[in-house]
Amino acid sequence: MPSIHKDIVLKTDNGYSNRNRGNGNRYSHFGTRTSMAVGRGPVYDAWMGARFQSINIPQGATITSATLTLTKLAVAGTPTPKIYGNDIDDAPTWGVGNQVRLITKTSATTNLDVASAVSVNNVTSIVQEIVNRAGWAPNNDIAFGIFTVKVAGSHYWLAYQANTTNLTSPPSNWPQLDIVYVGTGRLFRNSSLSGTSPTGQLQFNPSLGAP
């Protein structure tokens, strides 16, 4: 079955936004720091996001597995974050005009693994919901937003953030997305198979969508 591995390729594709509960001021930290946060601190509420580009999966393909991997930097209290997808056809990068907290959440969600040093999270149902969208097309971009339940006290979780544009060999502690899928599939003619009839040149490619 085809598989895809994706790293962060633009530093603004990951990070967090936060809000000062006292004065309501909001701030964005996408690709500017070494860490990113989700939860509730002494002063701020924070939302974490990660976006992955050029997901070459046909519309309606069956997602066998999908994992979002983050590396824990610190944890305080007992945070209970949940991961959602940005429920749109082609997710833009994060910024002042595209805050994590304002995404259209997928119906599918999963709890973030806050206990493990390397947080490997099953986002299969989230990715499936997005690629099932009528407007999804191969090489569109997928983004995830991580939210936490508002409770009294300080409860937050920190992960490593990709904060440079030198992404040819990204560190293993930066966000990663891995997907295995079954395409809708179709036959195609492989003319490189010399010495065979046109019929003998037909091959099946499960990663190709319908013509």
Count of domains observed in the chain: 1
In a domain, 208, yes or no: no
pTM of the model: 0.85
DSSP code string of 3-70: EEEEE--SGGGEEEEEEETTT--EEEEESSSSEEEEEE-SSEEEEEEEEEEEE---TT-EEEEEEEEE
Q: 96: buried, middle or exposed (CB in 10 Å: 19+, 13-18, 0-12)?
A: exposed
Asked if residue 89 is part of any domain, the answer here is yes
Q: Mean pLDDT across the chain, nearest whole number?
A: 88
Residue with tokens 């990715």: 127
Q: Can you state the percent helix, strand and coil of the chain, rounding each to 5? A: 10, 45, 45
Mean pLDDT over 158-169 rounds to 78
Token pair for 38: 């989700």
Assign 211 a pLDDT band (cuts: 50, 70, 90): very low
**CATH number of the domain that residue 119 is part of:** 2.60.120
95: confidence class by pLDDT, cuts 50, 70, 90: confident
Q: Print the domain residue range for 73.
A: 3-183
Which three-class secondary structure state does DSSP give residue 151?
coil
Q: How confident is the model at residue 27 (pLDDT cuts 50, 70, 90)?
A: confident
Question: Domain for residue 210, yes or no?
Answer: no
Residue 197 located in a structural domain: no
Residue-by-residue DSSP string for 179-203: EEEE---EEEE-TTSTTS-TGGGEE
- The SS3 assignment for 155 reads strand
pLDDT at residue 84 is higher than 80 = yes
Q: Tell me if 73 is assigned to some domain.
A: yes
Predicted pLDDT of residue 187: 45
Residue 202 falls inside a structural domain: no
The answer to whether 48 and 145 are in contact (CB under 8 A) is yes
pLDDT of 121 above 70: yes
Please work out, in degrees rounded to the nearest 5, the angle formed at the alpha carbon of residue 150 by the alpha carbons of 149 and 155.
Answer: 85
Asked if residue 24 is part of any domain, the answer here is: yes
Instruction: Please give the average per-residue pLDDT across 136-143, as a whole number.
Output: 98
